[in-house]
Structure 1
Amino acid sequence: MRVLLSTIGSRGDVQPLVALATELRALGHEAHLCVPPDFRGWIEGLGLPVTPIGPELRTLTAATPPPNATPPSPEQLRRMAEASVTAQFETVMTAAKDCDLIVAATAIQVAARSVAEVLKIPYVFTAFCPIVLPSVHHSPAPAPGRPPVDGDNQVLWAEDAARFTASFGAALNNHRTTLGLPPVSDVRGHIFADHPLLASDPTLAPWPEPGSGVVETGAWILPDHRPLSPELSAFLDAGDPPVYFGFGSIRAPRGLAEAMVEAARATGRRAILSRGWADLLPTDPGPDVLSIDEVNQQALFPRVAAIVHHGGAGTTTAAALAGTPQVVVPQVYDQYYWAQQVQRLNVGIAHPSGVPTGESLTVALSEALWPDIASNAAELAGQIRRDGAGTAAHHLLKLARA
């Protein structure tokens, strides 16, 4: 069997698909990935075929809007949506050739299900966080640039569905008509389909409505056996466990690196700063600060005193698996949910909304370093499932054979 795994997202969206691809390959099947070009070299180095889709995300993330920039007009947004959907149809249709099933992740995968219909193969949508999927028990993830909002969840989900259709409905249905497919009236429901997978850990991020059609598999964790660099190992061995700071592949507020170093020193800790796509690098680091590039989190996280991060699904799960206290500094989308879960489970601290400062990070980090939080984090680590990708692989095989 040959499966297409497709996403338009950052490393946190891509790495779980690589974990699933690895499991499928171990079971004797083929997996082809359709992902942003940023990750092509890494994935091909693992021996997996890749079709790049869309522009380089790192370039888009690094671009800082000019002050007082004018938001795109409705006509500009319409053209952007049309261009994105057209590119998706062209790329996914090519990548899905000779495939027996399509797995799509991220909600802006507008074309993937239509491609599956044309090819007459099964299609499955995957979410990596519960609040991506509609439920009366939670509100939708906030749109980029918007903070979370309170209100009647049913109303908020209806408004969210209307925005999806208004943004992508015309472009999607134009292509469906050309392909001889009937139009859809609910774009978001069309993308999610009837039995989506939820690839999050059921203890860390449970689905609130068992029996509702959502298939919980557990998080898709890619085993990482890379050693830590000699420089990083020496830094870890040279003193008490430091604090890890990282913002992954999102844009970081200006001055964040200096604020992180200030917080570490205020709590009597050394600091490890992951540069990430935000290029976090303090102006005057000193010997108690080490800046690193991409690293094996599974090897590093158990050796640090706390993990301060943006709240991506992958980093939150890796920190939970390590049994290390967390400080989550959410900026966009599902990161607010992960911050709330870390706080609710008492395995870390949710940093308040807004731009973090040295003072605010010091307060949050000081609380996260309390012994009871460390004890709770260690206990949670023993409950995190490691078999999610394997569970999903077996589910997909059964689906393809049905």
Structure 2
Amino acid sequence: MRVVLSTYGSRGDVQPLAGLAVQLRELGAEVRVCAPPDEEGARRLAAVGVEMVPVGESVRSVVRKALPDPGDFPRRVAAMVANFHAAVAAAAEPGGAVVATGVFPAVAGAQAAAEAVGARFAYAALQPTMLPSPHHRPFEFPLQPYRPGLTDNRELWADNIRTMNALFRDPVNAHRASVGLPTVDNVRDHVFTDRPWLATDPLLGPWPQPAELEVVQTGAWLLTDDRPLPADLSAFLDAGEPPVYVGFGSMPLRGAPDAARVVVEAARQQGRRVVLARGWADLAPADGADDCFAVDEVNQQALFPKVAAVVHHGGAGTTTAAALAGTPQVVVPQMVDQPYWADRVAELGIGVAHDGPVPTVESLSAALGRALTPEVGARAAEVAGGIRTDGAAVAARLLLG
């Protein structure tokens, strides 16, 4: 059977699909991944021998541009729907399967392609807050804020249908009609289906009950990483006490141009050296001191057990990797699902949620001080033992069973 996995997102969206692809291939499936042509994702897929079909613009090039004109939004949605429909339809086969995650227009294009080809379709959320639930509120789109007076989560999710229709229904339906598919009234629920998958760890990112929506929680889709750490990084780690890792992944940090100085000084206030991940914000130490080591993309599974704390933006993948390592976290959430992960880290007692997206030396130093206490370290180690590692295998068996 041929399975097509599809996403438009950064490494945090592509790497889980790589983990699922490996498990599917071990069960005999032929797998292709439709994803944006970013180097990090392409490299991870190539490393495990999974064929990648590049779709659309590099996400990194998009986030580095000036903020787009809101008036151009419908055209960009239509282009993404069409691009992913074309790529997935060309890769899929009748009787096969398509699994999609990432931003909504890309999922809508993949779903329409599966429908047109005659392949089974599954939508997979990489965080609980993407799915309607009485236990959390929907993500608030900048172009479509919550209606005044709505506070109940059920009411907000009902209104979210109006929001999603306003943003996406016309371009999605125009494309569906152009390829001979029927149009839909409720675009959100049609694309997400009535039985979506949730690829998060049940302890770290649970799906609380009761809930009206039937959700299949598989566990997080992890990709085993056997790459050794670079020799110079290993030498830095061995040269002193465990440092603090600081990295913000694909976040450009437009509101925090001085972030590198802030995080290094905050760690120094706690008497800690720093491993600074450059990321898409191009963070770099300013003073060249030997207590700070800058890295590009690195094996987090090998690195995180060797550091004293992980300071990050709250992406699902980094949160899970730090939790699995048993290392305390400080989450500085920037957008979308990241406040959710910050709250979960705080609720579980495995780290600290920073108040707001822009840290100061004082605020980050205080958060680090709390995260580095023995109590948080012990709790992080305890929770690590409850994190499952079989989510991708569960999903693969579910798809092919």
TM-score, structure 1 as length reference: 0.93
- In the aligned structure 2, how far is the partner of 1:148 from the partner of 1:265? 41
Write the letter of the residue equivalent to 1:78.
Answer: P
1:217 maps to amino acid = T
Q: How many Å separate the matches in 2 of 1:294 and 1:73?
A: 32
Q: In structure 1, which of residues 66, 91, 115 is the aligned counterpart of residue 113 of structure 2?
A: 115
1:248 aligns with 2:246: no
Q: Is this contact kept in 1: 2:18–2:44, CA < 8 A?
A: no
Equivalent residues of 2:94, 2:119 under 8 A apart: no
Query: Percent sequence identity over matched residues?
Result: 51
Q: Distance in 2 between matches of 1:220 and 1:176?
A: 30
The AA in structure 2 aligned to 1:85 is V
Distance across 2 between alignment mates of 1:370 and 1:41:
37
Distance between the aligned counterparts of 1:247 and 1:341, measured in 2? 18
- Name 1:330's counterpart in structure 2: 333
Residues in 1 aligned to 2:70 and 2:269: alpha-carbon distance in whole angstroms: 46
Number of corresponding residues: 392
- 1:201, CA displacement in angstroms? 0.3
Deviations 1:343-376 (A, max 9, x none): 0011100000141111111010001011100000
TM-superposed CA distance for 1:224, in Å, is 0.5
1:231 maps to what in 2? Answer: 232
1:72 to 69, 73, 82: 69
Question: Is the Cα contact below 8 Å between 2:137 and 2:157 reproduced in 1?
Answer: yes
Give secondary structure in 2 for the equivalent of 1:50. Answer: strand
Long gaps (5+) in structure 2: none
**Cα distance between partner residues in 1 of 2:370 and 2:331:** 12
Q: In structure 2, give the amino acid aligned to 1:27.
A: L
1:15-94 to structure 2, matched below 5 A, reads 15-38=15-38, 39-65=41-67, 72-74=69-71, 76-94=72-90
- Residue 361 of structure 2 corresponds to 358
Distance 1:42 1:25 in 2: 16
Q: Does 1:163 align with 2:166?
A: no
SS of the residue 1:32 aligns to:
strand
What are structure 1's unaligned runs of at least 5 residues?
A: 66-70
Conserved 8 A contact 1:4-1:99: no
Larger mean CA deviation between 212-221 and 313-322 belongs to 212-221
User: What is the RMSD computed on CA atoms of the aligned residues?
Assistant: 1.9
Residues 6-21 of structure 1: pairs in structure 2 closer than 5 A: 6-21=6-21
> More displaced, 292-301 or 55-64?
55-64
Instruction: Kindly provide the CA deviation profile for residues 258-305 of structure 1, in whole angstroms up to 9, marking residues without a partner as x.
Output: 001001100000000001111110221300000011111011001100
Which SS does the other structure have where 2:9 is aligned? coil
Compute the TM-score of the two structures, normalised by the length of structure 2: 0.93
**What is the CA–CA distance in structure 1 between the aligned matches of 2:157 and 2:98, rounded to whole Å?**
26
Contact conserved, 2:15 with 2:44, CA < 8 A, in 1? Answer: no
Partner Cα distance (1:286, 1:13) in 2: 34
Alignment counterpart, residue 135 of structure 1, candidates 102, 113, 133: 133
> Does 1:218 pair with 2:215?
no
Say whether residues 1:303 and 2:303 are aligned partners: no
CA drift of 1:72 comes to: 2.6
Q: 1:64 to 1:362 in 2, by over 3 A?
A: farther
CA distance in 2, matches of 1:146, 1:240: 48
Question: 1:206 — aligned with what?
Answer: 206
Shift of 1:227: 0.6
Q: Is the 8 A contact 2:92 2:119 kept in 1?
A: no
The answer on 1:261 being equivalent to 2:264 is yes
Pick the aligned partner of 1:316 from 314, 319, 328: 319
SS in structure 1 at match of 2:124:
strand
8 Å CA contact retained: 2:314, 2:342: yes
**How far does the alpha carbon of each residue in 1:145-202 deviate from its partner, in whole angstroms, 9 at most, with x for none?**
9999982112221232222211221111122223332211111111110111111000
The residue type equivalent to 2:83 in the other structure is A
The verdict on how the C-alpha distance between 1:73 and 1:342 changes in structure 2, with shifts beyond 3 A counting, is: closer
What residue is the counterpart of 1:190 in the other structure?
Answer: 190
Distance in 2 of aligned mates of 1:144 and 1:300: 36
The Cα shift of 1:80 comes to 2.1
Check 1:73–1:227 CA distance in 2 against 1; reply closer, same or farther (3 A cut). closer
Equivalence for 1:68 = none
Partner of 1:103: 99
Conserved? CA contact 1:263–1:359, under 8 Å: yes
TM-superposed deviation, 1:41: 4.0
